[in-house]
Structure 1
Amino acid sequence: MRLVMPGCISDARSIPALRVFVLICAMALYLSMGASVFQAIERPLERELEEHVARVKVDFLRNHPGVTDEDLESLLDVVVRASNRGVSAARNVTGGPNWSFGQSLFFSSTVVTTIGYGHVTPLSKPGKVFCMMYALLGIPLTLVLLSALVERLLLPATAMLRALNAALGHLYRPFTIRLVHLLIIVSVLIIFFLVVPAVLFSSLEPEWDFLDSFYYCFISLTTIGLGDYIPGDSPQQEYRPLYKVATTFYLLIGLTFLMLTLTVFYDIPQLNLSTVFSSVKLDEDPEKMRLSGSGVMGPGYGIGGLVMRDEYNHHDQRRSVVHIRPHLDDSPSPEDTTPVHARDMRVH
């Protein structure tokens, strides 16, 4: 029987709190570093633009003596406010209204996916109220839809993992095999949802180069949605409503595959850093064990079908080792629809 001193329990509980404090400090340092770098890079260009605008205003007032500075400021204020609401004052912009069906569908998708570009917003009070109600129901519905799609995509992803394990299990450790599997998923995400769409956008958008298009794809799929680049808003854009609808489907499919990539990433215990800052381990909480499905697998199985066996080295320190042995029947049958976190992977 092992005796545990009360002081040891309090020390063990203080360790996660200390780790969280370190994480908070690291996050604050990371934000400060980002602010410093952005300031150093962007502030000189901003200063140049401010000086250019000031020179243009002075030249305009000099060439138009009948226009006062107050009149010009009033006009600019109206133009800027309209531009912030998605309405351009330029005479050559004939891309169609912002609230056509295609544009409205694109806006609805940015709301429920929490991308929120912000370049087009509801102008009326009823529109703002409906937008809040629409998002309140649409965001959970979108998460449920994306989760269901990810669960279906996990089936071929798991089949590929089992094939890699059967082919390489006798040569490499399970962690290495999972890294190879993750690398394949990430490569598909980068090539087919970032690089290829970036090439298409750079060819369709007259003012975008490849970097601008890749930047837009990354900012959109990560749901940051800065709104500085919006497809289909250039003057004389052909088939603008259809273009917006196609972009909507791209965003939904891209977000689904991004969630699949994150699921595969977090399913690797060695890469899931959230457990480092958790005060209660999953295998110590019966409720979490039940919700994770580990209890229905029987003895010898843990999260994701893998068991983490504690061993002790010569320094008497605990380490976790995962052993997977490939079998000929590791490949699931086509009728097997069990998610990846509930599949049986052989352990010894």
Structure 2
Amino acid sequence: MSPPASPPGPYSPLHEPCRRAHVRRCMCVRRSSCLLAGYTVFYLLYVALGAWVFSYLEQPAEQRLQQRLEEDVRTFLASYNCVPEERLDILLQHVIRANNRGVSASKNISSGPNWSFGQSFFFSTTVVTTIGYGHVTPLSEAGKIFCLVFALIGIPMTLVLLTAFVERLMVPSTVALQWLGLRLGHVWQPFSIRMVHLTVVGTLVVSFFFLVPAGIFYHIEGDWTFLDSLYYCFISLTTVGLGDYIPGDSPGQTNRPIYKLAITGYLLVGLVMMMWLLTVFAEIPQLNLGIWFLHQSDETTSDPEKMRLSGPAIGLPNYSAQSGSLKTPSADRSTEQSQASSPDKGTPTHGRR
């Protein structure tokens, strides 16, 4: 009677597939971690380069402005000897502090109350859209507390609203992409077709939400150049919101409440268009660079639930790297149904008669 077989050891051939899978997973983790670390270093170098360029470009202008201001103060003190320099310095500090809170001491610059309904509506929109120009801020303690609660609830609500509009826009956008695939699929690769689609969407967004509004602001705002207007549109729709250019705050502005409401509508619609453009960009697999920083293993493709969660959105065309064609979920379902209804399903080719 032969002795019972001993369990396979750690280096048994039965464990070789598991060991290879473990090695592959470790290599994937190491590779993605190295790529992420390298990208982080590149990002920090990019930010440092931007800081150096801003410092190089802006320091001379700041020094010239500082010298001009000091000359104006000396001229004022020389003309009015009865004003002590210390008292003037205290007055300037109060003026600067009030100006940083959105209150101007000059009657020629002041454009009316900052907390009228039109101005407040504009401020509320900049808060919930995270643009946050910063030129007007709550002054009272109760206003600061309400701003915290208002932003905490309003920002998610705004995100839901903008996402819902973008999903509606993706329906005709996907139809247009499918039409391009039918017309140009026999000539161009799917990546080229998606790039044409992205170029068309980008051209529409840039033309109607950057260039055209910039021209309108250039004609309405008397002291803005076209570059200033284009700069404001970009800073606002990218939610950077520096606050150095605010439309409707120039003295003598006619129909200011209506103008502010129109700007609020432009910001909301423009943010939807920007999110639409970014969504179309993210739908191109070859441009989704974030995939290189993720840990991917064979478990992702073997788990149907993970495949469903990581797959494309419902109703959007899917790019098949194996077939090299654009596929839609409806086409996949029709293919599966045809295969399921076929009597030869599962029958090998060499076994058919």
TM-score range, shorter chain: 0.7 to 0.9
- 1:287 is displaced (CA, Å) by 3.9
Residue in structure 2 matched with residue 208 of structure 1 by the alignment: 224
**Which range moves more in the overlay, 22-31 or 278-287?**
278-287
**Contact (CA 8 Å) 2:178, 2:317: kept in 1 or not?**
no
Q: Which amino acid aligns with 1:307?
A: S
- 1:11 is displaced (CA, Å) by 2.6
1:306 lines up with 2:328 in the alignment: no
Residue in structure 1 matched with residue 191 of structure 2 by the alignment: 175
Residues 206 and 344 of structure 1: CA distance in aligned 2, closer, same or farther (over 3 Å): farther
C-alpha distance in structure 2 between counterparts of 1:233 and 1:159, whole Å: 43
C-alpha distance in structure 1 between counterparts of 2:180 and 2:30, whole Å: 41
**Contact (CA 8 Å) 1:150, 1:260: kept in 2 or not?**
yes
1:289 lines up with 2:304 in the alignment: no
- 1:269 is aligned, of 268, 285, 310, to 285
- 1:304 is displaced (CA, Å) by 4.5
Residue in structure 1 matched with residue 262 of structure 2 by the alignment: 246
- 1:47 is displaced (CA, Å) by 0.7
- 2:170 is aligned, of 150, 154, 160, to 154
**Contact (CA 8 Å) 2:248, 2:259: kept in 1 or not?**
yes
**Contact (CA 8 Å) 1:102, 1:241: kept in 2 or not?**
yes
- 1:7 is displaced (CA, Å) by 4.2
Deviations 1:225-282 (A, max 9, x none): 0000000000111111111110000000000010000000000000011101111366
- 1:290 is displaced (CA, Å) by 2.6
Tell me the SS of whatever aligns to 1:188.
helix
- 1:342 is displaced (CA, Å) by 5.5
**Contact (CA 8 Å) 1:95, 1:236: kept in 2 or not?**
yes
C-alpha distance in structure 2 between counterparts of 1:288 and 1:90, whole Å: 62
Residue in structure 2 matched with residue 30 of structure 1 by the alignment: 46
**RMSD value over aligned CA atoms?**
2.3
C-alpha distance in structure 2 between counterparts of 1:35 and 1:284, whole Å: 46
C-alpha distance in structure 1 between counterparts of 2:47 and 2:185, whole Å: 41
Larger radius of gyration: 2
Q: Which amino acid aligns with 1:90?
A: S
Residues 93 and 48 of structure 1: CA distance in aligned 2, closer, same or farther (over 3 Å): closer
- 1:81 is aligned, of 97, 101, 108, to 97
C-alpha distance in structure 2 between counterparts of 1:146 and 1:274, whole Å: 23
Residue in structure 2 matched with residue 323 of structure 1 by the alignment: 325
**Structure 2 residue runs without a partner (length 5+):** 1-13, 336-353
- 1:322 is displaced (CA, Å) by 2.9
- 1:94 is displaced (CA, Å) by 5.1
**Which range moves more in the overlay, 79-88 or 144-153?**
79-88
- 1:308 is displaced (CA, Å) by 3.0
**Which range moves more in the overlay, 171-180 or 7-16?**
7-16
Q: Which amino acid aligns with 1:291?
A: L
- 2:211 is aligned, of 191, 195, 198, to 195
1:186 lines up with 2:202 in the alignment: yes
- 1:96 is displaced (CA, Å) by 1.9
C-alpha distance in structure 1 between counterparts of 2:103 and 2:180, whole Å: 53
Deviations 1:304-325 (A, max 9, x none): 533333xxxxxxxxxxx73238
**Contact (CA 8 Å) 1:304, 1:343: kept in 2 or not?**
no
C-alpha distance in structure 1 between counterparts of 2:305 and 2:44, whole Å: 33
Tell me the SS of whatever aligns to 1:324.
strand
**Contact (CA 8 Å) 2:132, 2:241: kept in 1 or not?**
yes
TM-score (norm 2): 0.84
Residues 210 and 344 of structure 1: CA distance in aligned 2, closer, same or farther (over 3 Å): farther
Residues 239 and 186 of structure 1: CA distance in aligned 2, closer, same or farther (over 3 Å): same
Residue in structure 1 matched with residue 9 of structure 2 by the alignment: none
Count of paired positions: 316
Residue in structure 1 matched with residue 344 of structure 2 by the alignment: none
**Contact (CA 8 Å) 1:95, 1:234: kept in 2 or not?**
yes
Residue in structure 1 matched with residue 348 of structure 2 by the alignment: none
**Contact (CA 8 Å) 1:305, 1:344: kept in 2 or not?**
no
Q: Which amino acid aligns with 1:138?
A: G
